[in-house]
Structure 1
Amino acid sequence: MATTDFPTRLKELGATLTSIEKVLDLEKMRTEIADLQEQVGAPDLWDDQANAQRVTGRLSALQAQLERIEGLRQRLDDVEVLVELAQEEADADSIAEAEAELGRLSASIESLEVRTLLSGEYDERDAIVTIRSGAGGDDATDFAEMLQRMYTRWAERHDYAVEVYDTSWAEGAGIKSATFAVKAPYAYGTLSVESGTHRLVRISPFDNQGRRQTSFAAVEVVPVLEQTDEIDIPEDEVRVDVYRSSGPGGQSVNTTDSAVRLTHIPTGTVVSCQNEKSQLQNKASAMVILKAKLLALKKAEERAHLDELRGDANASWGDQMRNYVLNPYQLVKDLRTEHETGNTQSVLDGEIDDFIEAGIRWRRNTEDAPA
């Protein structure tokens, strides 16, 4: 970057950040923080644990978001001062430092700008992600586990908490399915663009002739509900089955009938949970998942297209939204946004922010396009 670009770049980034501040309404955010802080200070806050967790979680998320925005504004002001001093003194090292900081700021502000596109009714919520293997035998179950690891690693990179509710292990390699929650502000709005069918092409490690194999896995993302959400499930509409947990977990998990499977009879929706030692805890967690899935179903039916919240879950040829090709060349490509990279290992290690951001922009452009 030439030094003559500094004024233009600083002006562009300043304008973008100002636009973000207006969209996110910082004064409203500060007012809500003050109100939540007052609620947190109430002596009876923890009499209602569910509400207390909601209040403290919301407060923490808003404070972090405000600090992030204010931090970016401060960094932008600081780099402007650095540029002025560096140019006055013709300090090449300081100019190089300013250029590097501008690059980092640009990436951070662009990422924050994507957040302003998440304005859906449930975008702020935590996400419940379900991955299911599709066509492809052992390669498909192995691929499903690869995707679970990819999303888990992505969450770890952002310091997001992940809670695994249920894992159904395959007889050979990998998993038949897995359900887990990603607990972070805007986790649902962010990850919802990952819903759909994912396709893997590689030399199969399970084929003794070393042939290339194509396999599929489906990803479904739904928002976690809050107490105020209107989803009432009559007891007689839910069948409860208990069974012994399988897979890793230790003796106390695997030797008792603590796992719970819930079936919503009217819709045929089935969820399960086996991560807790207590049958009661597993039932409560399974009910959280069931309500989230039923909300997704309800909203999708209201809009007359199920894919909007749940994504396409056929997990077969012709339905894929993203290809992961490991042989005969290395390429991960999103078929909706055309975003791609040849660094397949980094993607499978959780570096998927570029794909997610491209997906969010693509969705907004699709929504805004004239009918």
Structure 2
Amino acid sequence: MATIDFPAEIKALRSTLESIEAVSDPTALQAKIADLSEQAAAPDLWDDPEQGQKVTSALSSAQAELDRVKKLSQRIDDVETLVELGNEMEDADSLTEAEADVAAIRKDLDALEVRTLLSGEYDAREAVVTIRAGAGGVDAADFAEMLMRMYLRWAERHGYPTKVMDTSYAEEAGLKSATFEVNTPYAFGNLSVEAGTHRLVRISPFDNQGRRQTSFAAVEVVPLIEQTDSIEIPESELKIDVFRSSGPGGQSVNTTDSAVRMTHIPTGTVVSMQNEKSQIQNRAAALRVMQSRLLLIRQQEEAAKKKELAGDIKASWGDQMRSYVLQPYQMVKDLRTEHESGNTQAVFDGAIDDFIEAGIRWRRSGGND
């Protein structure tokens, strides 16, 4: 017979699901899906391929999230029914099956619960991942390529689109560095816990004497910050002064208040324009220059924010966050969370969800303070 307290277990499952629903808000998700579906049905959607990809990816992600919650609710109902029938019929096989179902549901709920922990400012963004070979020579370059493959395979397992932006190949083997995007919502929230120094210990395939080699690679993860081609400036943020133009230009320029000095109050950015003959023309020209300057300021701020988020990753002894040991034994171990796996091949093939989930819970508990 079953060895667990089914009523208590099922009650706990429902309680966890309710806490997840309180955060994910299925009603809001349905409204979001309806809006995205309408956008996806627009005949001109793919006139802008990048926007088309963004809409369809967001729709797929939102639908998948809603389906996960609904299916888990149905699975809890089903296992409750199975337990009732098993008890009525005194069917030990049904109760054993129900016990296995409860364990599977608990695992899936735990994975879904992790998503509710991703509430940082940039967690919902897509991600840009950069991997750099560190100390260890050609082995480090090879390790960098192994890590890139690991993350691309992880994305492939989940159906997440990726885009390799840059690769710099090492002379003998592997990569000096590589940068790629993971284009799915919450990619940054998930992968941000992968940032840091990774260490590989193995018998070097590049050493003629077959010696054990330790090498390092750095993983940097930053959110994909959306760029805009123009910038809207509220009228309330602008101070406009008009004055008489000076210098050559003819009587109409020098005798009227056609010149414009535009000040963006929040940043103190000033643009003066007097080349045009009318105040309206000078004002329009000044606004175009002001928009360009403010866009540049925004981009510089975003770049600084990315650098802050990426942190300073050394890729050497003393600051590694995860070790991949292939010799003398096989073990992948995260040094922050203590999570480990003896199946190193599966990890390098992209099976890193357990490491990511452990990292998110560790971070949320204040482990990186």
Does the TM-score normalized on the shorter chain lie above 0.5? Answer: yes
Verify: 1:187 aligned to 2:187, yes or no. yes
Q: How much does 1:90 deviate? A: 1.8
| 2:5 partner SS | helix
1:1-371 mapped onto 2 (5 Å cutoff): 2-46=2-46, 49-227=49-227, 297-299=303-305, 306=308, 309-366=309-366
Pick closer, same or farther for the CA change 1:363–1:64 going to 2, 3 Å: same
Q: CA deviation at 1:22?
A: 0.4
Return closer, same or farther for 1:50/1:173 CA change in 2, 3 Å cut-off. Answer: closer
Q: Determine if contact 2:201/2:212 at 8 Å carries over to the other structure.
A: yes
C-alpha distance in structure 2 between counterparts of 1:293 and 1:205, whole Å: 44
CA 1:292–1:211: 2 relative to 1, 3 Å: farther
Which residue does the alignment assign to 2:266? none
Q: Distance in 1 between matches of 2:212 and 2:230?
A: 48
Q: CA deviation at 1:169?
A: 1.5
Q: Measure how far apart 1:77 and its partner are.
A: 0.8
- Three-state SS of the structure 2 residue aligned to 1:20 is helix
The Cα of 1:172 is off from its aligned counterpart by 0.9
Q: Give 1:236's aligned residue.
A: none
Higher-Rg member (1/2)? 2
Q: CA deviation at 1:157?
A: 1.9
Whether the 8 Å CA contact 1:219–1:311 is kept in 2: the answer is no
Give, in whole Å, the separation in 2 of the partners of 1:363 and 1:229: 35
State whether residues 224 and 292 of structure 1, in contact with CA within 8 Å, keep that contact through their aligned partners in structure 2: no
**Deviations 1:169-205 (CA, angstroms, capped at 9, x unpaired):** 2111211111112222211110110011101111211
1:307-357 per-position Cα deviation (integer Å, ceiling 9, x unaligned) = xx2144211111211111222222221111122222222222221111111
Distance in 2, matches of 1:335 and 1:292, equals: 37
Partners of 2:89 and 2:301 lie apart in 1 by: 61
Q: Which amino acid aligns with 2:39?
A: Q
Post-superposition shift, 1:218?
0.5
**CA distance in 2 between partners of 1:147 and 1:3 (Å):** 42
CA root-mean-square deviation: 2.7
Aligned length: 305
Counterpart secondary structure, 2:365: helix
For 2:301 and 2:192, how far apart are their aligned partners in 1? Answer: 14
Q: Which region of structure 1 is more displaced relative to structure 2, 48-57 or 119-128?
A: 48-57
* Structure 2 stretches lacking a partner, 5+ long: 233-296
1:101, 1:317 → 2: CA distance? 44
Conservation of the 8 A alpha-carbon contact between 2:128 and 2:182: yes
Instruction: Give the gaps of 5 or more residues in structure 1.
Output: 233-290
Aligned pair in 2 of structure 1 residues 169, 49: CA closer, same or farther (>3 Å)?
A: closer
Cα distance in 2, alignment partners of residues 171 and 231 from structure 1: 44
Q: 1:191 to 1:147 in 2, by over 3 A?
A: same
